[in-house]
Amino acid sequence: MINEILKDAEERMGKAVSSVESAFKKIRTGRAHPSLLDSIKVNYYGTDTPLNQVANVTVEDARTLGISPWESNLVPEIEKAILKSDLGFNPSTNGSLIRIPMPALTEETRRNYFKQAKSEAENGRISIRNIRRDANGGLKDLVKEKEISEDDERRGQDQVQKLTDKYVALVEERLAAKEKDLMEI
């Protein structure tokens, strides 16, 4: 039973780290990368569809993304979706090819993006600590039901704390990498 609680906690903590990573992907750096557009949904025959499912997104150079839609009638829809997103991109169309130039990051915008990254990392740490609280609560419930001893509970709590430390360290690692990426000129 302790193993089930630990396994569930580890799985949920892994998902929390994945969530932080995907949030970091949305915070742009100075370089063009197709994952910056992952959050954009395009109206495709009445259905909101991810951009990468209706067009090919490529990196033309270090500061330009190219989007070639699979259907030419999607060009205005894709432009509209990019402008509507809160990413701050200004697409330009050349026939059926959409180019997105990446504006250069100023020191101030870099710092703001880093603040945003720190906030996302803190949300991840909070999530991991909440999972720890849930796991420890599950162990306490097992003690109340006399399914495990208090010594087993203490050992279980130690293991949960080790998991928590491990996953918080992973979040810190990701944050340090994102900071390095953001502050790189």
Looking at residues 40-52, what average pLDDT do you find?
A: 84
Q: Where in the chain is the domain with CATH 3.30.1360.40?
A: 34-101
pLDDT of residue 51: 81
Model pTM greater than 0.75? no
Q: pLDDT by residue (tens digit) across 89-109?
A: 788 888 888 888 887 777 887
Q: How confident is the model at residue 30 (pLDDT cuts 50, 70, 90)?
A: low
Average pLDDT, the chain: 85
Which helix (H) or strand (E) segment holds residue 49: the answer is strand 47-50
pLDDT of residue 185: 61
Buried (b) or exposed (e) across 20-35, using 16+ Cβ within 10 A? bbebbebbbbbebeee
Question: What band does 29 get if pLDDT is binned at 50, 70 and 90?
Answer: low
Per residue in 131-153, pLDDT (tens digit) is 999 999 998 988 888 888 888 88
Does 1.10.132.20 match the CATH number of domain 2-26+106-183? yes
Provide CATH 1.10.132.20 ranges for the chain. 2-26+106-183
The correct CATH number of 34-101 out of 3.40.50.300, 3.40.50.360, 1.10.101.10, 3.30.1360.40 is 3.30.1360.40
Question: Residue 167 has what pLDDT?
Answer: 92
Q: Which of 163, 165, 172 is nearest to 9 (CA)?
A: 163
Looking at residue 172, its pLDDT comes to 93
The more confidently predicted of residues 181 and 5 is 5
